[in-house]
Structure formats: structure tokens, C-alpha cells
Amino acid sequence: MFEKSHLQQFYIDGKWQSHVTDEQFGEVINPATGEPTDKIAFGSAEDIDLAVRAAHRAFPSFASWKQSERNELVEQVCSVYERRMGDFVDAITAEMGAPREYVSRAAQAPSGLGHFRAAVEAAERLHFRYRQGTAFIVREPVGVCALITPWNWPMNQVACKVAPALIAGCTMVLKPSQAAPYSATVLAEVLHEAGVPAGVFNSVQGEGARLGGALSSHPLVDMVSLTGSNMAGEQVTRAAAPTAKRVSLELGGKSANIILPGANLDEAVTHGVLTMMYNSGQTCVAPSRMLVPMDSIEEVERIARKACATIVVGDPSDPHTTMGPIANERQFKKVLSMIASGQQEGAKLIYGGTQRPDNCPKGFYVQPTVFSRVNNRMTIAQEEIFGPVLVIIPYEDLTDAVEIANDSPFGLSGYVYGADKAQAAAVAAKLRTGMVHLNGAPVDFQAPWGGYKQSGNGREWGAWGIEEFLETKAILGVDEHFSLA
């Protein structure tokens, strides 16, 4: 899968290095069993400094590359990544419990490759140098970037930062989640084999609380890009503020899924339930609030139960499994506490609950769980649960539905399902979210990804993702024939 010794090392300045301080290690837990499988080295502020300084030294040279050269480099990354796809599949299943065939092979591992390919395609359409009025405009790399990523979609979240940073000409230090170290190790090996120059990409494993501040406050870091919790976003922003760094945040979500009157309920409800439960509900854009016409509530409940009954919970290595465990014990306990909160607040539990699935005597398994007749003031309707828990909220009319959907501190994504596509699009236009999916439309790697309100700032994916890593310079007073080689 990958070189085991690399778990006790960091990838800095083009080579695998032991860390510079007294050795500290953390356990990697198999979420399917709850038992440790490996140990990884935990970095310190000194390790971060070593990595940042390597990136700082590498920046002038890499920033001077021609755009075509950087595009070719990322294309080579794609070639190596594709050859090692099986290693990514195995790594993601092992580290966070995603079902190997249904999730890791079908979506998790390929999403990383998708972002590298999309970055090359987007770069070919972007104008990095052009005239505007009397000025010559130059889009230049922002500099040394700190990339901090989560465990729920490990390669998706890493690649959608690393790929545009490489295309833009930035150098970087990646701090992947300590709960998902395997796939990040595979990626470092891929980038090394692909010929990414020494110092351009660096990776230090370890605790987010310990390393996030060291990265965000480092005077040689020019930008921080974080995907994570709202608390982590606040901490990173505060640490970056004294040096006025650029900060890009993709944070939490509590996406509403509005099923319109007249929609095909069998299709809409089934799609909503299965999309919510995919990846064990550990997706920031999961449609966790299903809003349905009040007079359809009983039919919706019936269909939701039927959809949940088709979900196969179990060992992620079993090809028949469609829902694996929660990725770690901390999140497992949070999900169970939120289910208990829903029961205490009086929501109607129509499927699942806090009981462990019968066929899963150990590990961090939770049943697919659905609450109905939920009030939007309930905790389970307002807070991000990040597990396989769906809440069904009845609405009176479309005005009421839009008000409920927007009555959230989050604004990452939204969903609208209706027989009349024009009506669905009109409703989508009223949602205060960065993205809206109509009638089950899938994601598009070339479309911008990001949210409103407390879901963060900035955009990732495609051209928008590259622009996050660029500065804009205006050169004034040049003649009309001026150009930069």
C-alpha cells in the first residue's frame, strides 16, 4: 500500500525525514474494530518550521516556471496517481472505514484524481496575463501555503488544495488529519515519483490543535487553506490575523433538501435518504434536513423507512456493504449523543437509533437514523451532526420552506427536487447557500465549491480554486506591445 516507515517520518524538502524533536507518536485506529493498527509520528512546531522554510526556499524557482511546465507536472501527477489508485482505495478504507467498493473505489479515491485533472483543464482557460485598460495585469502565485485537511473525504479535500496550488505556482506544507494518515502518505509518494521539485510539497503529520496554530501563525506562510470544523476555522483565523495572511475556509454545513409539491416522492425521498447516508453521513454537504409538504408527511416517512432498509451496514471490506463505521471514536460518541438529543427533544424516531447494529459487535457503527416531525429549532435541526442522521421537517408552503431552509447559521449547500425544473430553479435562487443541487444533480469538479455565512469563505474546485492561490498585480504605464516572457 505504501512504505510503512514513512508513517514515522515527514516528507520535507523532497525526502522523508525523521522529526527534529523528541519522538512522539499517535495511534491509528481501525474504525471497523476500534483497535489500533499503526503508529504515526506526531510533529511539533520545530517540524513545521523546517517544512515551511523548505517551502520558502523553493518558492522563487517554482514560481518562475512557465504555466505550461506546471500543467505538465500536474499531468504527470495524474499519471502516477491513476497507477496507484488501488493503494488509495485500500488506504482510505483502512483509515476511515469507507466501504471499499461502494465508497472508496467508486468515489473517494477517484475524487482526488478528478481534482488534479480539473485543475489542468481550468488552467488552460484562465488568463494569467492580460491587458486591462492602460494596465498590464499579472496573476502570480500567492506564496507559501499552509493546507489543513480533514478525515471525512481525505483525498478529495487534500487534492482540491494541492492541485490548484501546484498549478498556480505556490509551494506548500500539508497538515492532513491525524485520523487519516495513510492516504496522505500515498499522495506524498505519488508527488515525489511524479517529479515535484524538492520543497514545493511538504507534509507533516500530527495533532491539528498543536500544528494548526504553528502553521497559521508562521511568518513565512502567506496563505492558509483549511477544511474543517467551525472551531478550527476560528482558531486558524485568529492565528493568521497578526500577519494578515489570506485565509480560505470551508467549514460546516446543515443543508436543506426541499422536496416540492408534485415531486415524485418515491424518487425524491429515496434519493435524499441514500445521499444523506452515503459515507456514513460524514459529508459536509450532506442533505441532512429534508423539507417536505405537510400533507405528504406520512407517505414520506414510509418511503424513508423503506430506503433505510436497503442500506447494508457492515465490514467496509465486504463488497456488499454500503455503509461502514463512523471514522473515529470521538465522532462516534458525538453522533450517538445527537441521536439521544433528538429523542429527548421529542422528535419522532422512524428508523435507527442509538442501538448498535446487530451484525457489528465492535467498531464505531451507527444505524442509519431518521427523525420526522422535526421543528427547526431542535438541536438536531440546527447543529451539524456529521453522521447518518436525517431530520424530516414539514412545511406549509414554499415561502415557509425557503424560510426554514435559510434559518441556519450555515450556508454550504442546498437541494431542491421537483417535477417542474423552472420552479425548482426559482426556489434554488432564493437559498442562501454556495451551491444548490437540482433533482439529484451530482457535483462538478469544474464548478465552485464553498459556502455562505458560517460555512466559510473563499471557493475551491476548478478555476475558482486556482484563483484562491493567486495574487493580482497591475503594471501601469507600459506601452501596448509590452508583455512578460
Q: What is the rounded distance in angstroms from the CA atom of residue 290 to the CA atom of residue 401?
A: 10
- Grid cell at residue 363: 467498531
The values of phi and psi at residue 248, to 5°, are: -115, 125
H helix or E strand, kind and range, residue 379: helix 379-382
Nearest by Cα to 170 from 458, 408, 470: 470
Residue 315 DSSP class: -
Burial class (CB in 10 A: 0-12, 13-18, 19+), 130: exposed
Long-range CB contacts (within 8 A, 24+) of 354-359: 357/313, 357/314, 359/313, 359/314
Q: What is the dihedral of CA 420, 421, 424, 430, to 10 degrees?
A: -130
Could you tell me if 12 and 45 are in contact, meaning their C-beta atoms sit under 8 angstroms apart?
no
Nearest by Cα to 275 from 441, 425, 427: 441
Rg over CA atoms, the chain: 23
Q: Sort residue 106 into left (φ over 0), alpha (ψ -120 to 50) or beta.
A: alpha
Q: What is the dihedral of CA 273, 34, 319, 88, to 10 degrees?
A: 100
H helix or E strand, kind and range, residue 475: strand 470-476
Q: What is the rounded distance in angstroms from the CA atom of residue 351 to the CA atom of residue 301?
A: 9
For the annotated catalytic residues, the residue numbers are 250
